[in-house]
Amino acid sequence: MSSAAVIYLDASLIVEITTLTLRQNEQDDAVVRDYGLLESAAHRPRSSSFGVEHYPGLFDKAAALMQSLARNHVFVDGNKRAAWNCTATFLEVNGAPLIEPVDQDRAEAFVLDVATGSLGDIEDIATALRTFHAAG
């Protein structure tokens, strides 16, 4: 899939999704801990060198986004929830929705593995994400 066809989440949309996520749990709005890390997370899925995409597949891009949000503690609170919901949104707007209803325990364990680095390879994260995909 070429980058031109992919819809990416920008930093402001990531903050908005995270705020909505926190409000669902009766918490305050998202507070960004590090704007540099936020911008980095938003741009990582589309990164390239010498015209070659670092993450050529949609699920590779989603894995890069998830890993950046889950591991880098962009927000004061809600980083793992932000990682899951932003990744799910990214996949959905690009025509690859997740299975509904999501197995919450399995999803939580998966994101925790990404956040702690137990699941650290982008290809492994992408493979795991595919198991949550409706066509997966």
pLDDT tens track for 121-133: 999 999 999 999 9
Q: Residue 100 has what DSSP assignment?
A: S
Q: What pLDDT does 2 receive?
A: 47
The reply to whether 109 falls in a domain is yes
Residue 74 lies in a domain: yes
The whole-angstrom distance between residue 43's C-alpha and the CA centroid of its chain comes to 12
Residue 27 pLDDT: 76
Low-confidence ranges of the chain (pLDDT < 50): 1-3
Domain membership of residue 93 (yes or no) is yes
pLDDT value for 100 = 86
The DSSP code for 134 is T
Show the domain range for 37: 8-44+54-130
Indicate the pTM of the whole model: 0.92
Kindly state whether residue 71 falls inside one of the protein's structural domains.
yes
- Residue pair 31/87 in contact (Cβ under 8 Å)? The answer is no
CATH number at residue 13: 1.20.120.1870
User: What is the total count of domains within the chain?
Assistant: 1
CB within 8 A of 121, min separation 6: which ones? none
| Pairwise CA distance, residues 125 & 136, whole Å | 14
73: Cβ–Cβ under 8 A, 6 or more apart, which residues?
33, 34, 37, 79
Beta bridge partners of 133: 98
In a domain, 2, yes or no: no
- 65, part of any domain: yes
Look at residue 63 and tell me if it is in a domain.
Answer: yes
